[in-house]
Structure 1
Amino acid sequence: MMLAMAPKPSASKPNIVLFFIDDLGYGDLSVTGALGYKTPNLDKLAAEGTRFTNFMAAQAVCSASRAALLTGCYPNRVGVSGAFGPQAAQGLHPQEETIAELVKEQGYTTGIFGKWHLGSDQEFLPLQQGFDEYYGVPYSHDMWPLHPWQERAKYPPLHWIDGNKAGKEIKNLEDVSELTPNITEKAVGFIKRNKNKPFFLYVPHPLPHVPLAASSKFKGKSERGIFGDVLMELDWSVGEILKELKAQGLDKNTLVIFTSDNGPWLNYGDHAGSSGGFREGKGTSFEGGQREPTIMRWTGVIPAGRVSNKLLSTIDILPTIAKLTGAKLPKQKIDGIEFVDLLKGDDSKTPREEFLYYYRKNSLEAVRKHDWKLIFAHPGRTYEGQAPGKDGQPGPTSEDFQHPRALYNLARDPGERYNVLEQNPEIVAELEKIAEAAREDLGDDLQKKEGKNRRPVGVTSSK
């Protein structure tokens, strides 16, 4: 039995490497069914660790999802919604405690290389949120003057940020092709410099969010076009970072976590990924928007070659890291639940039984308990019935489609196609109670409820 074979935990605190990929669909790894390219380094990571198949992003949009990951909270609890634009004058509130701040108190060095998207004003940048080093882009790299939609007129030039200072401008797709290699180089250098002390390395890659570009080493190498090229290069990046851990003798005392912020942006067609058969994609509270490919490896601690189907979320990563490192939990309320025992191989544990699907500013669109998911009638995005775009140009989407009330059993119907609402009134009543408690706590715009325990988003001090 896998539980009996589970290895003994390491006595020392682990280094943490956290990959957070942008707009990666559930079906975008070869280990999860991708076609036209291979992701051998990620397949190997899965073989050496545990793959979680029921792992949820907290919301299916950039800033909200990242706020949730780093704070262990549903993003609406910390006032974050949507994707902050360059002139948003908002960011993650300075009083919120991030993973980086918690582990710094335990002697960890902290670095982020990649996309931040939690406020682009200096007071919200990573060095003010617990990170010792930062090199990357402040928000999504389509928020620039070359945006394919009419919003391009309002976007300023996009620059790399080094620490708190703006660096080289990202002007064109050739510059975009430098994102993955430059971030990889910085991450590898961080490992080399900090090999003799514990570290937390956060690698939120900006790709495969559009616009897509790959370096000359990978351009034209896949059968899937530029999207496959980009995924091959991201897989290479993961491999380079894992290779450096091994070269420095750190691979056996490093917890590696790989996941994504939300599902694929499906109306970009051949420039978008695959939801792996789940319904809808980015910007929706259906499984295709929020269920993410997730792999975790800690050699000698996490069982190798294992698949866990237990319900978990990105909000559970913070309390789990806190327990593993001895860090104190944030002073303010969080929503995450630690899953250390499950992570280490005890499959009798079920840390999370319920999950709330919030979207837009603060709309409770669905609730879940175990395999049952109750959808509330709501206006929202749908990609269905509309031809996707091609070659980097987006196709149309309906943003206010009226999704009807429905009940799905995800064990039998992971694609959310067969509404069994009428046959299961007792299940509906149980899920309604969960929803009512959520509305009292966090509110619900659909029912015009504010919620008692939401905290404010950060607002630029100059405003």
Structure 2
Amino acid sequence: MVRVCYSLLVLLICVPVLSVPKKAAAATDSPNVIVIFVDDQGYYDLGCYGATEVETPRIDAMAREGMLFEDYYAAAPICSPSRAGLLTGCYPRRVGNHIWVHRADSIAGIHPDELTLAELFQANGYATACIGKWHLGFAEPFLPKNQGFDEYFGLLHNLDPVEVVYFGDKGVPLMRNDSVVKQPADPAELTQIYTDEAIAFIEKNKEHPFFLYVPHTMLHHPLGVSEPFRGSSNWGEYGDAIQELDANVGRIFDTLKNLQIDDNTIVIYASDNGRGPGRTPEQKIQGRKLSTYEGGIRVPAIAWGPGAGIQAGKRSAAVTRAMDWYPTLATLAGISVPEGRVIDGRDITSLLKGDTQFVPAASLKKTLNALVPLRRRWEPPEEWAALIKRHEFNDAFFYHGSQGELAAVRWKNWKLQLNPTPLLYDLAADPGEKTAVRNREVTRKLRGMAILFQHEMLADARPPGVVNRPGANGKTLIPRLMSEGLNTSLGVTYARYGDRTLEMDIYRPNDAWGKLPAVV
């Protein structure tokens, strides 16, 4: 008998495709949007966040000219789920992409019926490109070209040693759309060539609105630094790679200015999760990627866009999440999130523009997509209805671990770690989560939020995209759901061979009700 911990949701249902009305070419005054998504950069690992081991003058300048977020959370503490949350505006669990990462042999990805941020912009006349690390599924339905991107250049996979094993001696390929450009890819040149490609795309579309997503491979292990930046920092190869990223962010800003389109461009800079292992300089928050301590999931984020009305020189203490960019960028571009599309992101446009200091309740209707959070299920039983208001629930952040388990809840300055024993922290007074505090009312409120969230996800979570994999006998293996519920295991039958059946009983790990093993 093998004991393992899994979190698995198998749903064999059909999700209707929500149509997005196509526009002709967007108006020339529609703002360009660039999202620079860095891999494994810790919360303090920029000059503007307090790092002294590195110099990041170009990103620091972006922060001075824009808004820096002090309490911003990635969608997950690990690569693939984090990217799914950013591009769909949903908790990764809602879209079935919440468990670990997609490896090269993965049969799953973002479901084709999901409406990615790229698809939303593409449908509204924008040119779209993804340049960098994809990591959201590798079968045909899950590739960037089928998720809203007109163009793709980069690595579909990451460069973990386990990925190299899949590709053998050839190594992980660098791709342009469906064609191999180079194999194996050289980590030391990726930051430079991604930026070269990004600049070429910007120049090609300087007179047409564009949505450009640049998910860098750095700072993920194995690190790669080009010759001019080796030894340039006081933080080893990690610091050198940060300084190279900074210089290349500067190249993008220089291009926007030289083309005189900087006044009509919005730039977002953020990390996908916290630092990787072995990066030792102290920081006030503890933890690293994969964990739900603050250091694993609270990350740097900066929004820049003077021409769009984004405030300059502001630091925001509002609790914001990667999912919030979806409705916010749509609003800044004058695009409505289609009716019926349920997402978890909130429109923070009023915060960016200085109309409010915190994210206003959806009912105030302050922005184009303000009402989107009200599409989420809200059917609290009486026990919780009197304790938890709807806008409080929408503003809470639900931390999920690397295996997809619900692990903690944050509301305002309070954070409740759910297991193995519920522990409450006041992050305003104790950002390092060193000393748990007692507050019975707050603990009950946050535990109630966790229970309501679990019910919501069990009722409304959508399936991942899955391609069928043939079995040893050439027949397709399709999992069949045998049971589901809050207090039951999931029994899944995978295949039948004569009188033998392969079955698994799967239990929720690290959930609000405690840690449970799976028996396979």
1:139 alignment partner, one of 157, 169, 183:
157
Partner of 2:439: 424
Q: Is the 8 A contact 1:116 1:204 kept in 2?
A: yes
Partner of 2:144: 126
Partner of 1:307: 315
Runs of 4+ in 1 over 4 A off after TM superposition: 143-146, 151-156
Question: What is the number of residues matched between the two proteins?
Answer: 408
- Give the Å deviation of 1:224: 1.6
Give the 3-state SS of the residue equivalent to 1:309 in structure 2. Answer: strand
Query: C-alpha separation between the residues in 2 aligned to 1:415 and 1:326?
Result: 40
Amino acid in the other structure paired with 2:142: F
Amino acid in the other structure paired with 1:334: I
1:332 alignment partner, one of 327, 338, 341:
341
Query: C-alpha separation between the residues in 1 aligned to 2:163 and 2:84?
Result: 26
Alpha-carbon deviations, 1:308-331, whole Å to 9, x = none?
100100000001111122223254
Root mean square deviation, CA, Å? 2.0
Alpha-carbon deviations, 1:353-398, whole Å to 9, x = none?
31111224441111111111111114xxxxxxxxxxxxxxxxxxxx
Query: C-alpha separation between the residues in 2 aligned to 1:133 and 1:273?
Result: 38
Residues 115-124 or 330-339, more deviating: 330-339
Larger Rg: 2
Partner of 2:13: none
Give the 3-state SS of the residue equivalent to 1:231 in structure 2. Answer: helix
Q: Is the 8 A contact 2:71 2:318 kept in 1?
A: yes
Alpha-carbon deviations, 1:101-128, whole Å to 9, x = none?
0011221100111000001223211111
| Cα distance, 1:155–1:461 mapped onto 2, change above 3 Å | farther
Q: Is the 8 A contact 2:286 2:293 kept in 1?
A: yes
Residues 250-259 or 121-130, more deviating: 121-130
Query: C-alpha separation between the residues in 1 aligned to 2:324 and 2:150?
Result: 23
1:409 and 2:426 are equivalent in the alignment: yes
Give the 3-state SS of the residue equivalent to 1:412 in structure 2. Answer: coil
1:48 alignment partner, one of 53, 65, 69:
65
2:199 alignment partner, one of 188, 206, 227:
188
1:455 and 2:455 are equivalent in the alignment: no
Q: How does 1:51-450 map to 2 (within 5 A)?
A: 51-80=68-97, 81-143=99-161, 157-170=171-184, 175-266=186-277, 269=278, 272=279, 276-300=283-307, 301-330=309-338, 331-351=340-360, 353-378=395-420, 404-420=421-437, 423-442=438-457
Alpha-carbon deviations, 1:177-199, whole Å to 9, x = none?
01101101000000000000100
Q: Is the 8 A contact 1:122 1:164 kept in 2?
A: no
Query: C-alpha separation between the residues in 2 aligned to 1:415 and 1:122?
Result: 43
Give the 3-state SS of the residue equivalent to 1:413 in structure 2. Answer: coil
Q: Is the 8 A contact 2:83 2:136 kept in 1?
A: yes
Alpha-carbon deviations, 1:125-154, whole Å to 9, x = none?
1111000110000121124566xxxx7798
Q: Is the 8 A contact 2:187 2:224 kept in 1?
A: yes
- Give the Å deviation of 1:13: 2.5
Q: Is the 8 A contact 2:76 2:402 kept in 1?
A: no
| Cα distance, 1:367–1:39 mapped onto 2, change above 3 Å | same
Q: Is the 8 A contact 2:80 2:101 kept in 1?
A: yes
Q: Is the 8 A contact 1:157 1:169 kept in 2?
A: yes
Amino acid in the other structure paired with 1:184: T
Query: C-alpha separation between the residues in 1 aligned to 2:273 and 2:134?
Result: 15
Query: C-alpha separation between the residues in 1 aligned to 2:31 and 2:323?
Result: 20
Query: C-alpha separation between the residues in 2 aligned to 1:306 and 1:155?
Result: 49
Amino acid in the other structure paired with 1:321: L
Query: C-alpha separation between the residues in 1 aligned to 2:464 and 2:151?
Result: 24
Query: C-alpha separation between the residues in 1 aligned to 2:196 and 2:293?
Result: 36
| Cα distance, 1:19–1:276 mapped onto 2, change above 3 Å | farther
Alpha-carbon deviations, 1:328-348, whole Å to 9, x = none?
325431111111111111234
Residues 47-56 or 340-349, more deviating: 340-349
| Cα distance, 1:273–1:459 mapped onto 2, change above 3 Å | farther
Query: C-alpha separation between the residues in 1 aligned to 2:76 and 2:169?
Result: 24
Q: Is the 8 A contact 1:106 1:325 kept in 2?
A: no
Q: Is the 8 A contact 1:33 1:276 kept in 2?
A: no
Give the 3-state SS of the residue equivalent to 2:132 in structure 1. Answer: strand
Q: Is the 8 A contact 1:315 1:335 kept in 2?
A: yes
Alpha-carbon deviations, 1:148-173, whole Å to 9, x = none?
xxx779897300111122331126xx
Matched-pair identity in % = 40
Query: C-alpha separation between the residues in 2 aligned to 1:318 and 1:335?
Result: 9
Residues 89-98 or 217-226, more deviating: 217-226
| Cα distance, 1:154–1:61 mapped onto 2, change above 3 Å | farther
Residues 431-440 or 190-199, more deviating: 431-440
Q: Which runs of 5+ in 1 are unaligned?
A: 1-10, 379-403, 443-450
Alpha-carbon deviations, 1:384-423, whole Å to 9, x = none?
xxxxxxxxxxxxxxxxxxxx42100111111111101xx3
Amino acid in the other structure paired with 1:217: P
Amino acid in the other structure paired with 1:168: K
Partner of 1:396: none
- Give the Å deviation of 1:203: 0.6
| Cα distance, 1:461–1:110 mapped onto 2, change above 3 Å | farther
Q: Is the 8 A contact 2:103 2:163 kept in 1?
A: no
Q: Is the 8 A contact 1:56 1:292 kept in 2?
A: yes
Query: C-alpha separation between the residues in 2 aligned to 1:375 and 1:230?
Result: 33
Amino acid in the other structure paired with 1:73: C
